[in-house]
Structure 1
Amino acid sequence: MRHSRAEKAATHQRIVQIAARRFRERGFDGIGVADIMREAGLTVGGFYKHFGSREDLVVEALAATFGSLEAWEAKARSSLRNAITRYLSPAHRDDPADACPLSALLNDVPRIRSINASDAYAAQLGRVFEFLESLLPAEIREQRRAHARLIFSACVGALTLSRAVDDPALSREILDTVADQLIEAFAEPLPAIA
């Protein structure tokens, strides 16, 4: 039975979305093509009708995950305080399948040795840095780049650590402490530079 181009495109997109969620939950090595195809209701043999290789799926899935960052940016656009508190929230911590791929796949991207995946990851990281720079005051122009990198690095570290600990109180403390410190240092009105 032949499938229309629209059906094939829809199936392709379903595979990519499943892979995007599962890669964020389990890492690139934590789930195989067979598992992804089974979840999509397809056979492993059908994989190569959609992708030339597993790396092709990884790159497409990684690109698809960046939508979660666009959603975060859209909701956080009003202020740096809002961006920090949304990123370092228990809801974000508790939903790795739909959360920030930059933190979820932090250790996986270097391991897969894919130039395309590494390039896509680095490009998205650059966009997040630019977004955070745009939320910092214009009067600290020379420091905005460094501050944006520090803020996001602290956010990714805190989110990753908060997921790694079994103690709910410690997990919440990590999120809250880092958020409070970042907000105090960067989101409160900064003193005028003389």
Structure 2
Amino acid sequence: MRHSRAEKAATHQRIVQIAARRFRERGIDGIGVADIMREAGLTVGGFYKHFDSREALVMEALTVAFAGLEAWEAAARGSLRRAILAYLSPGHRDDRTDSCPLAALLNDVSRGVRPGVASDAANVYTEQLIRVFDFFERLLPADGRDDRNDRGARARLVFSACVGALTLARAVDDPALSREILDTVADRLIDAFAPAEVPASA
């Protein structure tokens, strides 16, 4: 019995991990339960042994996807320059399955938001966005004119620019333009908000 429970838990986690990657790659509505179960080596009929609904899978997958942001934050090692360069790198642009869910799921979540209607996905997305805004706010260098509201506004500006640049760089079919978008926005953000930082080593 103990072995069976462990197997079920491992299978459950495998399904969630696959969903977290595929939702970022194709969008929440871009892949069905049947495709996710097939990739996990399971039948569609086994889905409800693990989840009450597709929405339950979506919420678990979002939790896993957002947990990946912690690795990017740790890699920044307290440097705004490193955070920007890692986010606006060709590697991040090209790795859609394990990339930032705030960028990857932006359109999916925004399409599900309706005035006066609660959305669990939008709630989770909003919480994580606020957390990343706070992360950028902590990285911004302080100066004598700084106050909390100004730093918060600048943090929102920096991350919004990062998300916009990453999304545009993924959308264009010109590799040179895609790279130019990443490099230009990264350079301008660093010049404006982290000019005094020592350049990150290669």
TM range (shorter): over 0.9
Please tell me the residue identity of whatever aligns with 2:167.
T
Note the C-alpha offset of 1:146.
0.3
Are 1:169 and 2:173 counterparts?
A: no
- Root-mean-square deviation over aligned CA pairs: 1.7
Indicate which of 140, 147, 150 corresponds to 1:141. Answer: 147
> Shift of residue 16 of structure 1?
0.3
Q: Distance in 1 between matches of 2:127 and 2:107?
A: 17
Instruction: Report the equivalent of 2:53.
Output: 53
Instruction: Give CA-to-partner distance per residue, 1:136-175, whole Å, 9 cap, x none.
Output: 1233233110011000000000000000001000000000
Provide the rounded CA distance (Å) in 2 between the counterparts of 1:103 and 1:152.
10
Letter in 1 for 2:97: A
Which consecutive unaligned segments of at least 5 residues does structure 2 have? 198-202
Secondary structure at the residue paired with 2:68? helix
Counterparts in 2 of 1:3 and 1:41: CA distance versus 1, 3 Å? farther
Letter in 2 for 1:58: V
Greater CA deviation, 92-101 or 114-123? 114-123
Measured in 1, the distance between the counterparts of 2:180 and 2:110 equals 29
Q: TM-score, normalised by structure 2?
A: 0.90
Which whole-Å deviations, capped at 9, do the CAs of 1:119-149 have from their partners, x for residues lacking one? 1111111110111011012332331100110
Question: 5 Å matches for 1:28-177?
Answer: 28-112=28-112, 115-139=119-143, 140-142=146-148, 143-177=150-184
1 CA distance for matches of 2:28 and 2:61? 10
Following superposition, the deviation at residue 11 of structure 1 comes to 0.6
1-side partners of 2:45 and 2:183: how far apart?
Answer: 47
TM-score with structure 1 setting the length: 0.93
CA distance in 1, matches of 2:49, 2:170: 37
Q: Which runs of 5+ in 1 are unaligned?
A: none
Residues 3-48 of structure 1: CA deviation (Å, up to 9, x unaligned): 6211111111000000000000100111100000000011111111
Corresponding residue pairs, total: 190
Counterparts of 2:30 and 2:184, CA distance in 1: 31
| Higher helix fraction (1 or 2) | 1
In 2, the alpha carbon distance for the partners of 1:121 and 1:163 equals 21
